[in-house]
Structure 1
């Protein structure tokens, strides 16, 4: 907690206490970008590596007390702003490349996987908040969806780190394994791209799998993945409404409505109407990835390995089951509807 403002001291002076934490999280994120340049690590997004570096730092070195306010700022305000900027990576017209059938396959796969994961989570006895994060990360878009969903779920940092780690693990397996299965399954480039985009977790993993199979598959997989990103907004809004109703029924305080998601929708609409110059868009994409990495680095810095270990293997089993489900379900839809 930041120290109280002393009498006669300008309120703005107290705000400078966020900077030690912001700088530390930014250094961790920057190191993640550097580590990604090492051989064999380019397949991982800097967001994932930022979480790992943050966890290693805080568990080996410890977290200075004066960084906590800034880290909290990165976890909330900065992350939400970065998610809004994700809207610049999507336009409505892009969805036309996969057609209404492709959009339907993406939407059905997302909805079915989310519901399946929550239901199985209850059967396995996985804590509801952690199950929601795993469901969002698997069905929508990996770490970004986990962060957005946590705005209404309000899970602990260890739950966020567990969800990110498990989703990254199985997304990486999918990225490496899908191209090997494609020939056996008899998929052409269009169907393979749609399958990869509809079921692999992280955007970087989707691009890696898609372009490994072929250029057309890479383009289709990217667009299908962006369609899933577009569905992030209605999913988080629906979760927020459900959470609000639950709190009202229990006569407890209402959770905050994820207003930043409406800003994300507005940015998508703006990006669909106004053509952003390519140079500016490249800068926005990099800034978005870096801010997401800073926010996830902050979460890693607040995560203790002992608390992750205490969650046990059931959430990992849940993430594995969700991964297998979305892979099989989306492939079935492509076979039936393609």
Structure 2
């Protein structure tokens, strides 16, 4: 034990990274259990991190490694996440979906911000939830949080909330599908335009068969495609605000360029000039999910249940309400 303790103090960077990896692995294992499997490993890992902080306190001796996971690994995960975006598919088949995706984002963010003002909810938290709802859940939240200078606590809480609520809605979609007057393609498109996470879309779209699931992913990818322009728009807004409030310059999110490069590589290079075996690609996508989970664990360790207990309830209720409205809205526009 003394040797372990000594190692922790001598190598806080490595031990902190290892600790976030351990909790992430625990989240992935927990996600294999009945019931927990529905919320997914990311939400499970965040919950474990929050509970650890609540019962054992923040591990200050490993702070540098935890911060590295929360910030550096987060950016690496977002860059690798670009591999999930097939730009070629969007350009060839999904352009008509882009304007609908724009409407979805405007609807989600607009209603969240409006609700925050009406019900006096935390504006930063609600903005993150709105962007996550409109684009791609926790991944979008992770991408924009550095741009709007969101607190680590807000990022972790909003990612956890949207993962759980999104899963509940995905399950709800599969339950009501048999009674909907929609064919497989229409149902898939509706799910892709409505649900929060890519994993939620996969869960809800699978009962519609290969064609329905394909349409669901296409609609979802159209929303993911807008992550970069939305991020750049937020960057511009923050720069204007910083000039008006004299808060200094806003750092450009260079990791978004990496996201674009990886998207271009996966869309136009891989499979045409370079072929990556499916097992390797699948492992790389799993690594991306694991790195994102590690970064969320790092953020989750900064969350104090005592501080957010009252703050999280209202945004969760509002998120559920706005998600219901979004489901009706997308059903109407598609």
Q: TM-score, normalised by structure 1?
A: 0.89
Does residue 132 of structure 1 match 2:127? yes
Do the aligned residues in 2 keep the contact of 1:122 with 1:128 (CA within 8 Å)? yes
Provide Cα deviations, 1:147-176, integer angstroms capped at 9, x if missing partner: 111111222233223312332232122111
Do the aligned residues in 1 keep the contact of 2:161 with 2:316 (CA within 8 Å)? yes
Q: CA–CA distance in 2 between the matches of 1:63 and 1:120?
A: 33
Q: Indicate which of 174, 187, 206 corresponds to 2:169.
A: 174
1:315 corresponds to which residue?
315
1:36 corresponds to which residue?
31
Match of 1:42, SS?
helix
Q: Give 1:37 shift.
A: 1.3
Do the aligned residues in 1 keep the contact of 2:94 with 2:222 (CA within 8 Å)? no
1:303 corresponds to which residue?
303
| Cα 1:65–1:99 shift into 2, 3 Å | closer
1:154 corresponds to which residue?
149
Q: CA–CA distance in 2 between the matches of 1:327 and 1:15?
A: 52
Does residue 17 of structure 1 match 2:12? yes
1:1-338 aligned within 5 A? 16-95=11-90, 99-275=94-270, 276-277=275-276, 278-311=278-311, 313-334=313-334
| Cα 1:97–1:170 shift into 2, 3 Å | farther
Match of 1:186, SS?
coil
Q: CA–CA distance in 2 between the matches of 1:15 and 1:198?
A: 49
Match of 1:37, SS?
coil
Q: Give 1:190 shift.
A: 0.7
Do the aligned residues in 1 keep the contact of 2:104 with 2:326 (CA within 8 Å)? yes
Q: CA–CA distance in 2 between the matches of 1:116 and 1:98?
A: 29
Provide Cα deviations, 1:75-125, integer angstroms capped at 9, x if missing partner: 111101100101111222222675433333223212322222222222222
Q: Give 1:254 shift.
A: 2.4
Q: CA–CA distance in 2 between the matches of 1:258 and 1:154?
A: 12
Provide Cα deviations, 1:243-296, integer angstroms capped at 9, x if missing partner: 111011111122322221122112111222211412332121011011001001
Unaligned runs of 5+ in 2: 1-8
Do the aligned residues in 1 keep the contact of 2:97 with 2:222 (CA within 8 Å)? no
Q: CA–CA distance in 1 between the matches of 2:20 and 2:123?
A: 28
Match of 2:146, SS?
helix
| Cα 1:179–1:64 shift into 2, 3 Å | closer
| Cα 1:88–1:312 shift into 2, 3 Å | closer
Do the aligned residues in 2 keep the contact of 1:132 with 1:153 (CA within 8 Å)? no
Do the aligned residues in 2 keep the contact of 1:43 with 1:208 (CA within 8 Å)? no
Do the aligned residues in 1 keep the contact of 2:82 with 2:262 (CA within 8 Å)? yes
The root-mean-square deviation of aligned C-alpha atoms, in Å, is 2.0
Of stretches 167-176 and 51-60 in structure 1, the one that deviates more from structure 2 is 167-176
Of stretches 85-94 and 110-119 in structure 1, the one that deviates more from structure 2 is 110-119
Match of 1:289, SS?
helix
Of stretches 21-30 and 121-130 in structure 1, the one that deviates more from structure 2 is 121-130
Q: Give 1:51 shift.
A: 0.5
Q: Give 1:126 shift.
A: 1.9
Q: TM-score, normalised by structure 2?
A: 0.90
